[in-house]
Chain A
Amino acid sequence: MGWIGETIDSIKSIQIRQLLTQAISLGMIVTSALIIWKALMCVTGSESPVVVVLSGSMEPGFKRGDILFLHMSKDPIRAGEIVVFNVDGRDIPIVHRVIKVHERENTGEVDVLTKGDNNYGDDRLLYAQGQQWLHRHHIMGRAVGFLPYVGWVTIIMTEKPIIKYILIGALGLLVITSKD
Chain B
Amino acid sequence: MHSFGYRANALLTFAVTILAFMCAICHSLITSILNINWFQKQPHGNDEVSLTLNITADLQSLFTWNTKQVFAFVAPEYKTSKNSLNQVSLWDAIIPEKEHAKFWIQISNKYRFIDQGHNLRGKDFNLTLHWHVMPKTGKMFADKIVMSGYRLPDAYR
A binding-site residues for B, Cβ under 8 Å? 60-62, 76, 78-82, 97, 99-105, 111, 117, 122, 143-148
Contacts and interface: CB of A to CB of B under 8 A. Distances in A.
A105 B83 contact: yes
A146 B69 CA distance: 13
A99 B137 contact: no
A101 B69 contact: no
Interface stretch (B25-33, B36-44, B85-93): B85-93
Contact of B71 (A61, A122, A144, A146): A61
A104 B71 contact: no
A41 B142 CA distance: 24
A103 B137 contact: no
Interface string B66-92: 001101010100000111111111001
B138 interface: yes
B132 interface: yes
Contacts of A111: 116
B130 A104 contact: no
Interface of B: 68-69, 71, 73, 75, 81-89, 92, 94, 96, 111, 116, 130, 132, 134-140, 142, 144
Shortest beta-carbon contacts, A-B, top 8: A99-B89, A79-B87, A145-B139, A105-B84, A101-B87, A103-B85, A61-B134, A80-B130
B85 A101 contact: yes
Given A60-B69, A80-B132, A117-B94, A100 B89 contact: yes
A104 B86 CA distance: 9
B88 to A, nearest CB: 5
